[in-house]
Amino acid sequence: MARSIALVCFLVVGLCLVGAVCASTVVAGGKNGGRLVNAVYVFGDSLVDVGNNDYLPAPAPRANRPYGMDLPGKPTGRFTNGYNLADVISQRVGFEMSPKPYLSMLPHDKILLGLCKIGANYASGGSGILDTTGKGTLTMRTQVEYFKKAADNMICYPSKEEHLARSLFLLSGGGNEQANSLAQAFNGLLRAKLAEASATTMKELKYSIAANYNILNDMMDNSLVAGLRQVKTACCGSGKLNAEVMCSHRGTTACPAAEHDDYMFWDMLHPTHATIQRGVVALFYGNGPKYGEPVNFGTLVTGQNVSPAIKMVVDSQ
């Protein structure tokens, strides 16, 4: 029997100028070419969008320069300076980065997706849990519909069920200060419903719910130990704390490139690549429900108890 789907529910409670935590050690590679899972499928908002919004008309938000300025080439569609949350989680389970944005896929890519050779990123900056969230973005419902359409046509070896059961599903939503209370209420119900399902109708379900709000607050409280010098001011934007106008809008500026890793926040909403790297370590190795429940991400993807003592470090790698 195939192992149950490794469903990772990363429902972010808040990211508006509050930061993340970090720890040590790295998950070792698995048996599948050094990968711990067969594929990664990503759903959610701007924390994990790797370019789907670039293929949508206005008013869908675009991550134009200086977003992505620390990655080579043209803007990447990521709402930060470098790799985003989906990338860093994908890297930690053995991939080079997050799978391609679904809307960018050429016919050849969709063939590989249908043959279970690659995963896909369906996330869209500005989307949320509700269909009414965001303007012109891919709603969560639409993202899931795109995945279902692809999954219905998958031809995998030894079976589609086996492939999906050994894949990682990453969801992110509810990351803006006006969504905090809604996200907190939703997360409470989500925890209860998933716990009930895993005990009754879906006994093989494996999942982890990240307590990102706690991780961010811990990093803010211990920022210097974590190696971050600027926790109140965003690197890119304008106005008070550089947090009144979104980065890349007219009149906004970014801090010097040499200082990017000193900042907790890239703009008013999104953490820097440096913050994300440290936060993901806590997601994989954090102890107890403060960072993730019922298990942390490391335990989820390895099937082993991965919970060394967390300590704040300057370099999360």
Specify whether the CB–CB gap between 54 and 65 falls below 8 A.
Answer: no
Reported pTM: 0.86
Q: How confident is the model at residue 315 (pLDDT cuts 50, 70, 90)?
A: very low
In angstroms, the CA 254 to CA 245 distance is 12
Residue 275 has what pLDDT?
Answer: 94
Residue 183 has what pLDDT?
Answer: 67
Mention every residue, 6+ apart, whose C-beta is less than 8 A from residue 19: 216, 217, 219, 220, 223, 228, 231, 264, 265, 271, 275
DSSP state of 294: S
Mention every residue, 6+ apart, whose C-beta is less than 8 A from residue 258: none
Task: Quote the tokens at residue 58.
Answer: 């206005």
Q: What is the pLDDT of residues 218-242, one digit of tens each?
A: 888 888 777 899 999 999 999 999 9
Residue 3 has pLDDT above 70, yes or no: no
In angstroms, the CA 47 to CA 123 distance is 9
DSSP codes of every residue in 132-158 = TSSSSS--HHHHHHHHHHHHHT---SS
Q: How far is CA 251 from the centre of its chain?
A: 29
DSSP codes of every residue in 79-116 = SSSS--HHHHHHHHTT-SSSPPBGGG--HHHHHHHHTT
- Portion of the chain with pLDDT greater than 90, in percent: 55
Residue 308 has what pLDDT?
Answer: 55
In angstroms, the CA 195 to CA 243 distance is 38
Mean pLDDT of 24-31: 37
Residue that wins the pLDDT comparison between 210 and 63:
63
In angstroms, the CA 9 to CA 159 distance is 24
Specify whether the CB–CB gap between 68 and 41 falls below 8 A.
Answer: no
Beta bridge partners of 41: 120, 169
- Portion of the chain with pLDDT greater than 70, in percent: 83
- Count how many residues are written for the chain: 317
Q: How confident is the model at residue 16 (pLDDT cuts 50, 70, 90)?
A: very low
Among the ranges 198-202, 210-214, 263-267, which has the highest mean pLDDT value? 263-267
Residue 134 has what pLDDT?
Answer: 84
Residue 243 has what pLDDT?
Answer: 92
- Closest to 16 in 3D by CA, of 58, 50, 55, 46: 46
- Closest to 62 in 3D by CA, of 43, 49, 48, 44: 49
Average the pLDDT over each of 40-44, 163-167, 219-223 and give the range with the smallest value.
219-223
- Counting Cα atoms < 13 Å in the Cβ hemisphere of 274 gives 23
Question: What are the residue boundaries of the structural domains of the chain, listed by start?
Answer: 6-16+30-220+287-302
In angstroms, the CA 91 to CA 114 distance is 22
Residue 313 has pLDDT above 50, yes or no: no
Task: Quote the tokens at residue 44.
Answer: 């959610």
Q: How far is CA 115 from the centre of its chain?
A: 25
Q: How confident is the model at residue 209 (pLDDT cuts 50, 70, 90)?
A: confident
Residue 293 has pLDDT above 90, yes or no: no
Q: What is the pLDDT of residues 88-117, one digit of tens each?
A: 999 999 999 999 999 999 999 999 999 999
Mean pLDDT, the chain, rounded, equals 83
Residue 15 has pLDDT above 80, yes or no: no
Mean pLDDT of 175-183: 63
- Closest to 220 in 3D by CA, of 169, 172, 278: 278
Question: Which residue shows structure tokens 């209860």?
Answer: 192
Residue 202 has what pLDDT?
Answer: 84
Residue 135 has pLDDT above 50, yes or no: yes
